[in-house]
Structure 1
């Protein structure tokens, strides 16, 4: 990638566009009352997805940007589970009876800090409250450092079908710089244990752009990860926002790689994983050729949601737990961010929604364009506008940055079809931002 292009675009503070409008546009004007109304209007036979945020870890990784809390004891987790059950009850009161569920994701934090018996009990409770479809996918995020064989057995018994393992880097120098020391043996043992108990769909999360990280260490991590043969890998660029996350202030900014090195790391990881037989999916995911993500991408049905790239086709996502984001036909909602404020709302018998946004018709068409760009690296703007009953001319005319992107050789434009050149796929967010109607910091 040309250094002049890097200098111009890589500093641009553009969103990740997992959702649109982004959470920065959420406001307190959309609260619990609006959410109750939206839940009550869900189509009774249309499957939904559930997301559960489990906000606890045994230690805090310095790079982490998610809302979590450290606990060395089980009492806060048990207390939280009781509150979570109450939130489930409040949601079930609003939705149609026996609402079908086709996709469940437990994120965090470290969801597998829940004890095996308690997790089995929670899953049994969920199956009583909702109508799980026979094909329902159940996924969970795992920290291999605190994962046990007993938990692996419980996950298999509970019907979990996919596990996502946090790896980030196998380089001990990098691990010490981010307060996450995790051996290859710990990761490999978790993979073996999961597969032994029938959980064969496995994801790894890797990160580039971390302190003291080099191109060589990124390649070594990708090589070791590929050798364990996970079905998918997500390769994220580290986002350093110490003003937002206090734990990131513990990272020495002088040890962070510059934009040029970050780009080299991303390209090197891509080459390593593709050479190992993985297909690149969207911006930052890789999957084996037979994986569902690859198949839906080929079919033009790849989706992007608050968890990243997905094959989930549900239009509704119900988020539970502190900071969880929900997506409904009418718009987005988000729960109180801290466990304390979330718990107080739920214990008072109220949904913990504290902000969100209503989707306008223009939001929907822009969201569709951005999603196709992020998923397919191209978007047929006139066709998408026609499907939403919109005139494409004002949408294209408002995307003033497209001309700059085209002049710089990042995109090709013909009759409203926008295509991102493959060598510039790492700048796809800047292309998507051209269709963002809300303010952001653009390249000058």
Structure 2
């Protein structure tokens, strides 16, 4: 990819467009009352997805951009689980009885800091309060460094069928620079334990753009990951935002690769994974041909949500825990970010919604265009607009960046169909940003 293109369009501050509008547009004008009303209005027959944020880790990874708490003690986790169970009851009392669930995801933090028996009890509570559709997808994020055989056994007993393991990099120099020491043998052991207990769908996460990372070390990490034959790999670009995430101030900025090197790393990892039989999915995922993501992409059902790429087609996502984002019929809601504030609200018997966003009809059209660009690297703007009762021409004309993207050969535009050229897929966010009506208001 040309250096001039990278310098012009590879802006790490651009949104990842997991949702649209993005979180900076959320307002405190949307609160618990709105969330309760939206929950009560959910269609009783439509399946929903559930997301649970477990905000605890045993050690701090300096690159991490998620709200987490470091604890070696178990009491804070037990106290948190007590609050989380109460939030489950509060939500279940406000949605239609027997609301069907088809997808559950435990993220963090490190969900597997929960003791095995407590995790099993949490799943039993969910099954009592919601109607689980078969076969439901139950996914858990795992830190291989603290994962045990006992936890693998209990996850299997709880019905978990997909696990996502953080790797980031196997390079010792990089691991030292980000304060995350994790061997290949630890990761391999975790994968084998999961498979032995019936959890066969495995995801691995890699990151490029980390301090002291090179193209060679990225390829070596990808090669080691491929040897474990996961069903999917996510290859994220490190976003360095120390003004927002204080822990990132411990990272040596002088050791970070520039945009050109970052693009070389991303391309080299992609080439390695494709050569190993993985299909590229959207901007930064790769999957084996028989994985749900690959099948969803082939049939035009690939989705983009707050967790990234997904084959989950549910319109509704209910978030639990501090900072969790929900997608309900009328818009988005987000819980209090601080665990203390979240817990006080729930213990007081009220939902912990701190802010949110009420979608307009225009927001929904723009969101649909952006989602197709991020998922398919193309979008039929007139067709998408017509499906929402709009003319596509205003969106094409108002996207001033489109002409520049076309002149630079990033996209092809024919009768309103916008297609990102494959060699420029790594700048797809810049294409999606052309349809972001709020981009100029982002805080940077």
1:172 aligned partner: 172
Q: Is the 8 A contact 1:143 1:166 kept in 2?
A: yes
Distance (whole Å) between structure 2 residues aligned to residue 365 and residue 350 of structure 1: 33
2:426 aligned partner: 426
2:248 aligned partner: 248
Say which SS state the counterpart of residue 202 (structure 1) adopts. Answer: strand
Query: Are 2:309 and 1:309 aligned?
Result: yes
Distance (whole Å) between structure 1 residues aligned to residue 59 and residue 440 of structure 2: 34
Q: TM-score, normalised by structure 1?
A: 0.99
Q: Is the 8 A contact 1:13 1:441 kept in 2?
A: no
Query: Are 2:437 and 1:437 aligned?
Result: yes
2:361 aligned partner: 361
Distance (whole Å) between structure 2 residues aligned to residue 401 and residue 200 of structure 1: 44
2:221 aligned partner: 221
Distance (whole Å) between structure 1 residues aligned to residue 402 and residue 239 of structure 2: 25
- Please give the residue correspondences for 1:45-124 in structure 2 after superposition, counting only pairs within 5 Å: 45-124=45-124
Q: Is the 8 A contact 2:12 2:239 kept in 1?
A: no
Does the C-alpha gap of structure 1 residues 416 and 302 become closer, same or farther in structure 2, counting only changes over 3 Å? same
Distance (whole Å) between structure 2 residues aligned to residue 260 and residue 366 of structure 1: 30
Distance (whole Å) between structure 1 residues aligned to residue 234 and residue 28 of structure 2: 32
- Please give the residue correspondences for 1:223-242 in structure 2 after superposition, counting only pairs within 5 Å: 223-242=223-242
Q: Is the 8 A contact 1:283 1:374 kept in 2?
A: yes
- Report the alpha carbon displacement of residue 439 of structure 1 after superposing the two structures with TM: 2.7
1:392 aligned partner: 392
Say which SS state the counterpart of residue 329 (structure 2) adopts. Answer: coil
Q: TM-score, normalised by structure 2?
A: 0.99
Equivalent pairs counted in the alignment come to: 442
- Report the alpha carbon displacement of residue 10 of structure 1 after superposing the two structures with TM: 1.3
Q: Deviations over 1:47-91 (max 9, x none)?
A: 100000000000010000000000001100000000001111110
- Please give the residue correspondences for 1:310-349 in structure 2 after superposition, counting only pairs within 5 Å: 310-349=310-349
Does the C-alpha gap of structure 1 residues 126 and 12 become closer, same or farther in structure 2, counting only changes over 3 Å? closer
Q: Is the 8 A contact 1:12 1:441 kept in 2?
A: no
Say which SS state the counterpart of residue 104 (structure 1) adopts. Answer: strand
- Report the alpha carbon displacement of residue 12 of structure 1 after superposing the two structures with TM: 6.2
Distance (whole Å) between structure 2 residues aligned to residue 215 and residue 393 of structure 1: 42
Distance (whole Å) between structure 2 residues aligned to residue 345 and residue 255 of structure 1: 42
Unaligned ranges ≥5, structure 2:
none
- Report the alpha carbon displacement of residue 92 of structure 1 after superposing the two structures with TM: 1.0
Distance (whole Å) between structure 2 residues aligned to residue 109 and residue 361 of structure 1: 35
Q: Is the 8 A contact 1:304 1:371 kept in 2?
A: yes
- Please give the residue correspondences for 1:121-160 in structure 2 after superposition, counting only pairs within 5 Å: 121-160=121-160
Q: Deviations over 1:275-317 (max 9, x none)?
A: 1110000000000011110011000110000000000010000
- Report the alpha carbon displacement of residue 441 of structure 1 after superposing the two structures with TM: 8.1
Distance (whole Å) between structure 2 residues aligned to residue 310 and residue 289 of structure 1: 15
Distance (whole Å) between structure 1 residues aligned to residue 136 and residue 157 of structure 2: 15
Distance (whole Å) between structure 2 residues aligned to residue 441 and residue 43 of structure 1: 34
1:187 aligned partner: 187
Unaligned ranges ≥5, structure 1:
none
Distance (whole Å) between structure 1 residues aligned to residue 27 and residue 192 of structure 2: 45
Q: Deviations over 1:357-382 (max 9, x none)?
A: 00000000000000000000000000
2:381 aligned partner: 381
2:261 aligned partner: 261
Q: Is the 8 A contact 2:433 2:439 kept in 1?
A: no
Q: Is the 8 A contact 1:168 1:207 kept in 2?
A: yes
Say which SS state the counterpart of residue 94 (structure 1) adopts. Answer: coil
Q: Is the 8 A contact 2:209 2:256 kept in 1?
A: yes
Query: Are 2:417 and 1:417 aligned?
Result: yes
Say which SS state the counterpart of residue 73 (structure 1) adopts. Answer: coil
- Report the alpha carbon displacement of residue 121 of structure 1 after superposing the two structures with TM: 0.5
Aligned-residue RMSD, C-alpha: 0.9
Distance (whole Å) between structure 2 residues aligned to residue 11 and residue 383 of structure 1: 29
Does the C-alpha gap of structure 1 residues 377 and 397 become closer, same or farther in structure 2, counting only changes over 3 Å? same
Q: Is the 8 A contact 2:13 2:239 kept in 1?
A: no
Say which SS state the counterpart of residue 165 (structure 1) adopts. Answer: strand
- Report the alpha carbon displacement of residue 7 of structure 1 after superposing the two structures with TM: 1.2
1:270 aligned partner: 270
